[in-house]
Amino acid sequence: MDYNPDTFLADEKSARNTRTDCPLTISKVRGLPESPEYGDVADGIFQTRLPWLTMPATPKNKKKKLYLHTPMHKLLLSVLILLGVSVNAQQADTLLPLVPQPVNVKRMAGTFPLRDNMPVVAPPGVKSSDAVLFIAFVESFYGIHLKLVNKHNGAGAIRISYDLEEDKTKPADYYELKVSATEIKITGKGSGVFYGLQTLIQLIPAGIVNEYNIPCVSISDYPRFAWRGMHLDVSRHFFKKEEVKKYIDFLAMYKLNVFHWHLTDDQGWRIEIKSRPKLTEKAAWRSGTLIGHYTASPQKYDTTRYGGFYTQDEVREIIAYAQQRHITVVPEIELPGHSLATLSAYPELGCTPGPFEAAKTWGVFNDVLCPKEETFKFLEDVFKEVCALFPGQYIHIGGDECPKDRWKESALCQEIKKRENLKDEHELQSWFIRRVEKIVAANNKQIIGWDEILEGGLAPGAAVMSWRGDEGGIAAAREKHNVVMSPTSNFYFDYYQSESHEEPLAIGGYLPLEKVYGYNPLPAALKPEEQQYIMGVQANLWTEYIGDFRKVEYMALPRMAALAEVAWSQQQARNYERFVARLTTHLLIHDRMGTNYSKAIFYIEPQILPPQPGKPGVRLLLNTRSKGAIIRYSVTDVFNENSPPLEDTLNIMRPVSLSAAAYEGQMRRSPIYRQSFQMTYSTGKPVTLATPPDAKYNNGGGFTLVNGVVGRLPWNGAEWLGYKDNNLEAVIDLGKTSSFNRVRVDVLKDEGSWIYQPKSIEVLTSNDGITFTSVKKIGSEEIQKYVRMVMVNTGMNFGRYVKVIVETAGTIPAGKPGEGNPAWLFVDEIFIE
Ligand code: TNX
């Protein structure tokens, strides 16, 4: 069959017209340039193939060249090249598959042919390491063999020099890359040359080619922020040395320069400390692990002994590996909370006698380090070895999520409070962190900690990693402390990245690529002179639900590419649609490398919209970025490649269960999007909110409450409106005076994530929308009877306007996760029946 996407679509359009009996109407399919293809579903994760070529799954593709095997393929290739060239001429920077986008890019006519045995000319000595890594990458993934030389006269060479090293007029880590038809020149300062080589790698065609011709360009480039970090939690799940190196390779590709290695937590201690051997004999192991999600009831566990650790030699090896890639490794030793594993080996460091066991489940635990002298002696021993191993300036000391229960009950803690004149346990935590800072400073390092270290006063030289939003970062910058922005809302890569039902299990939350991309690290709330304290950004990969490295790749990529652009590229150069256009071509490198990245950007993107004026129900718009694919759908039990194509918006006017997917011919190119729609009096009706939801969880505003769709579990954010400082107060206009006898409000309960059921729900009615009469109010005792959907039986009532007030739980009580903080209220739907 002819593969030309345009003729393919045209054919389908005529085929569509044969179906006239469907109850729902249809939408146009949007496509973006150059998308990889999909294969079959495996473990809920889609496998990609290069278009028209099956690549070996092994990361090292030693094949010398990728030949196109049929005349049809060759014809297609020439069409593609022609297309590519003509588009390049108009939109040069967009279609160069560079991520992150460089500061200045000029595309010029012509190409440089990259061929076997070409010389890479680099100065001798340590610096040649950049060239060596470049040569190895090209050999591994492109099968092209390049030669490292110190001298070469004549054309056809890649020339590397470091002569901008002393140029004070250029920003830190600046580089220039010039590709002409006869040679490639890279020069830079600091890590610039290495970054220039990463850019060069991204310019080598990664897809279907039989010759590796690099487009002629002139690029000058440098990073926006100095801290461009990625974190990896190796405690909840352990990753082998080789896997950690592979992770570091991804950072290097994206010009990220900090690897935050989360080495200790409740579930396992992962670094050898010679003076404290029990840490690796005992604390590195747990006797089982939670199966499935934390919120499942009853919880299930396996009984497999699980663990592992890195010896100091392995740690040195990883540090050196990262250093060659211009990456600093920042180790994290968690304290005083998240320390159950430590206590399992050294119970004498707790406030109670124990015994303690490394945790088998996730969350926050009450047993924490006690501020005893022997605890500080322990920390002296640990940091002495840790500081000697890691060459970077910063040591991460955790500091987050430390419940104060044990400290409140401990006579010793109360004595210290009195002696040191500390007002509460937060000040005691702050006192603890100050002592740790002194220990770390004695080893010539500085501490960085999670934003809780602000509570009770910051230690003098401490830097802050702001994770619970931007607020911690803002406060610390105002106090002239260095800050790394790492908010859950944009940088928690353990959250879901699509709304597909086939997404593998994740902790919860919803963080699609666009949201990562949209972050601006410099909050408007900060004055320019305060903004200078923002060192940069970091994304975190917590691994409670990430048991193997394939899933690490899946969760981290391509979100890491979006992070890189936030960290590196100039704010004014950032544009999501252009980023995605570059990314779709860039991802061919990962196909070549065998990376298991998420294909979420090619999935069906649903948009539920209010109905057309005067019409009931809601409208559904489905899109895909999968070029050449059409969307088919069904509202019956049968869904397959013969289901009708979708041309326009669907008007959903009755309860349906809908299935849809992107198809190219017979081949499904996306997971199946399944969605049930419920229809009640409130569905699709205008909603007015007294106060908007919290900006972090304003997922479509009031309309989301009546879009006919209930949020799913584990919750992924997209469907839920979040309130924290205000109650939810919604007025739904039913359009005419209507009778109803119950209101159902769907609320989420996930106390581990600080999301609590409401204190009360009240229903009021009105005929003019101004004066409301209360018809029913229920309190928490009644609400607690329901797991999710709370029923308010109002009895027969009439009214055109229905007001529903859902009261947040207020301050989280002691002994509960998040105690002392405002509880979140999450509501996704209000049904009036
Ligand atoms: C909060 S972020 C944590 C981690 C969890 C993570 C899960 C932080 C400082 N603490 O212990 O793994 O949430 O998203």
Quick: pLDDT tens for 307-361. 999 999 999 999 999 999 999 999 999 999 999 999 999 999 999 999 999 999 9
If one residue of 505, 510, 540 were mutated to test the ligand 1 pocket, choosing by the most ligand atoms within 8 A of its CB, it would be 540
Per the annotation, the verdict on 338 as an active-site residue is yes
Residue nearest to atom 12 of ligand 1 (CA): 542
Alpha helices by DSSP H, 327-470 = 340-345, 373-389, 405-409, 411-420, 425-442
Q: Residues of 472-506 as b/e, b for ≥16 C-beta within 10 angstroms?
A: bbbbbbeeebbbbbbbbbbbbbbbbbbbbebbbeb
- 506 C-alpha to center of ligand 1: Å? 13
Amino acid at 606: P
How confident is the model at residue 301, as a pLDDT? Answer: 98
More confident call, 64 vs 145: 145
Cα–Cα distance, 669 to 661 (Å, whole number):
7
* H helix count then E strand count, the chain: 21, 37
- 401 C-alpha to center of ligand 1: Å? 8
Q: Residue 58: is its pLDDT beyond 80? A: no
Query: Which percentage of the chain shows pLDDT scores above 70?
Result: 88
Mean pLDDT of 697-716: 89
Q: Residue 142: is its pLDDT beyond 90? A: yes
Residue nearest to atom 6 of ligand 1 (CA): 542
What confidence tier does 56 reach under pLDDT thresholds 50, 70, 90? very low
Q: Confirm if 555 and 540 have CB atoms less than 8 A apart.
A: no
**Max mean pLDDT range (19-23, 63-67, 112-116):** 112-116
Mean pLDDT of 535-556: 98
- 743 C-alpha to center of ligand 1: Å? 36
Kindly report the average pLDDT of the chain as a whole number.
88
Q: Residue 261: is its pLDDT beyond 70? A: yes
What global pTM score does this model have? 0.82
How confident is the model at residue 49, as a pLDDT? Answer: 28
Among the atoms of ligand 1, which is closest to the Cα of residue 236?
12
C-alpha Rg value of the chain to the nearest Å: 29
Q: Confirm if 756 and 824 have CB atoms less than 8 A apart.
A: yes
- The string of pLDDT tens digits covering residues 443-497 is 999 999 999 999 888 988 899 999 999 999 999 999 999 999 999 999 999 999 9
Q: Considering the candidates 266, 332, 385, 401, report the single residue annotated as catalytic.
A: 401
- 3 state DSSP class of 588: helix
Cα–Cα distance, 462 to 473 (Å, whole number):
12
Q: Residue 653: is its pLDDT beyond 90? A: yes
- The string of pLDDT tens digits covering residues 225-250 is 999 999 999 999 999 999 999 999 99
- 725 C-alpha to center of ligand 1: Å? 22
Among the atoms of ligand 1, which is closest to the Cα of residue 265?
11
Instruction: Mention every residue, 6+ apart, whose C-beta is less than 8 A from residue 320.
Output: none
Cα–Cα distance, 336 to 358 (Å, whole number):
15
Cα–Cα distance, 641 to 394 (Å, whole number):
55
Token representation of residue 735:
């359009």
Instruction: Mention every residue, 6+ apart, whose C-beta is less than 8 A from residue 318.
Output: 241, 244, 245, 248, 261, 310, 329
Residue nearest to atom 5 of ligand 1 (CA): 542
If one residue of 293, 401, 489, 751 were mutated to test the ligand 1 pocket, choosing by the most ligand atoms within 8 A of its CB, it would be 401
How confident is the model at residue 426, as a pLDDT? Answer: 94
Handedness of CA 168, 172, 173, 179 (dihedral sign): negative
Cα–Cα distance, 273 to 234 (Å, whole number):
16
Work out whether strand 630-634 and strand 605-609 pair parallel, antiparallel, or are unpaired. unpaired
How confident is the model at residue 699, as a pLDDT? Answer: 87
Q: Residues of 553-585 as b/e, b for ≥16 C-beta within 10 angstroms?
A: bbbbbbbbbbbbbbbbbeeebbeeeebbbbbbb
Assign residue 580 a region (left: φ > 0; alpha: ψ between -120 and 50; beta: otherwise). Answer: alpha
What confidence tier does 714 reach under pLDDT thresholds 50, 70, 90? confident
What confidence tier does 66 reach under pLDDT thresholds 50, 70, 90? very low
For the beta carbon of residue 358, count every other beta carbon within 10 angstroms. 25
Q: Residue 549: is its pLDDT beyond 80? A: yes
Please calculate the CA angle 659-665-671 and round it to the nearest 5 degrees.
35
How confident is the model at residue 373, as a pLDDT? Answer: 98
**Max mean pLDDT range (4-8, 100-104, 648-652):** 100-104
Q: Residue 83: is its pLDDT beyond 90? A: no
- 3 state DSSP class of 299: coil
What confidence tier does 163 reach under pLDDT thresholds 50, 70, 90? confident
The residue among 729, 762, 760, 770 whose CA lies nearest residue 743 is 762
Q: Per-residue DSSP letters for 594-649?
A: T-----GGGS-EEEEEPPPTT--SEEEEEE--STT-EEEEESSS--STTSPBP-BP
Q: Residue 551: is its pLDDT beyond 70? A: yes
Q: Residue 718: is its pLDDT beyond 80? A: no
DSSP summary character for residue 454: G
From residue 674, alpha-carbon distances to 24, 208, 606, 780 in Å are 16, 34, 10, 34
How confident is the model at residue 126, as a pLDDT? Answer: 65
Alpha helices by DSSP H, 91-191 = 92-95, 128-142
What confidence tier does 712 reach under pLDDT thresholds 50, 70, 90? confident
Residue 689's DSSP bridge partners are 730
Q: Residue 702: is its pLDDT beyond 70? A: yes
The residue among 608, 119, 545, 628 whose CA lies nearest residue 363 is 545
Burial (CB count within 10 angstroms: exposed 0-12, middle 13-18, buried 19+), residue 100: buried
For the beta carbon of residue 813, count every other beta carbon within 10 angstroms. 12
Cα–Cα distance, 491 to 608 (Å, whole number):
26
Assign residue 704 a region (left: φ > 0; alpha: ψ between -120 and 50; beta: otherwise). Answer: alpha
Q: Residue 20: is its pLDDT beyond 80? A: no
Cα–Cα distance, 779 to 764 (Å, whole number):
15
Q: Confirm if 359 and 286 have CB atoms less than 8 A apart.
A: yes
Q: Residue 413: is its pLDDT beyond 90? A: yes
Mean pLDDT of 638-648: 93
530's enclosing H/E stretch is helix 528-531
Cα–Cα distance, 512 to 498 (Å, whole number):
6
Residue tagged 């060759």 (tokens): 74
The residue among 45, 199, 188 whose CA lies nearest residue 569 is 199
DSSP summary character for residue 770: S
Query: Which percentage of the chain shows pLDDT scores above 90?
Result: 79
Q: Considering the candidates 265, 272, 367, 455, report the single residue annotated as catalytic.
A: 265
Per the annotation, the verdict on 265 as an active-site residue is yes
- The string of pLDDT tens digits covering residues 112-136 is 999 999 999 998 876 789 999 999 9
Mean pLDDT of 74-102: 53
Q: Could you report how far apart the first and last alpha carbons of the chain are, in Å? A: 52
Question: What are the φ/ψ torsions at residue 724 (nearest 5 degrees)?
Answer: -140, -50
Mean pLDDT of 141-164: 95
Token representation of residue 535:
């060192």
The sheet with strand 605-609 has its strands ordered as: 605-609, 618-623, 650-652
- 3 state DSSP class of 567: helix
Q: Residue 296: is its pLDDT beyond 80? A: yes
Q: Confirm if 621 and 609 have CB atoms less than 8 A apart.
A: yes
How confident is the model at residue 47, as a pLDDT? Answer: 26
The residue among 135, 157, 132 whose CA lies nearest residue 146 is 135
Work out whether strand 650-652 and strand 630-634 pair parallel, antiparallel, or are unpaired. unpaired
Cα–Cα distance, 610 to 114 (Å, whole number):
54
The residue among 186, 221, 179 whose CA lies nearest residue 204 is 179
805's enclosing H/E stretch is strand 789-807
The residue among 685, 621, 623, 616 whose CA lies nearest residue 655 is 616
Q: Which residues line ligand 1 (CB under 6 A)?
A: 400-401, 450, 467, 492, 494, 507, 542, 544
DSSP summary character for residue 325: T
Per the annotation, the verdict on 452 as an active-site residue is no
Instruction: Mention every residue, 6+ apart, whose C-beta is less than 8 A from residue 398.
Output: 264, 332, 333, 334, 335, 337, 338, 449, 450
- The string of pLDDT tens digits covering residues 193-224 is 999 999 999 999 998 788 999 999 999 999 99
- The string of pLDDT tens digits covering residues 657-666 is 999 999 988 8
If one residue of 542, 715, 716, 753 were mutated to test the ligand 1 pocket, choosing by the most ligand atoms within 8 A of its CB, it would be 542
Mean pLDDT of 545-550: 98
What confidence tier does 618 reach under pLDDT thresholds 50, 70, 90? very high
How confident is the model at residue 765, as a pLDDT? Answer: 97
Residue tagged 């950072």 (tokens): 251
How confident is the model at residue 669, as a pLDDT? Answer: 86
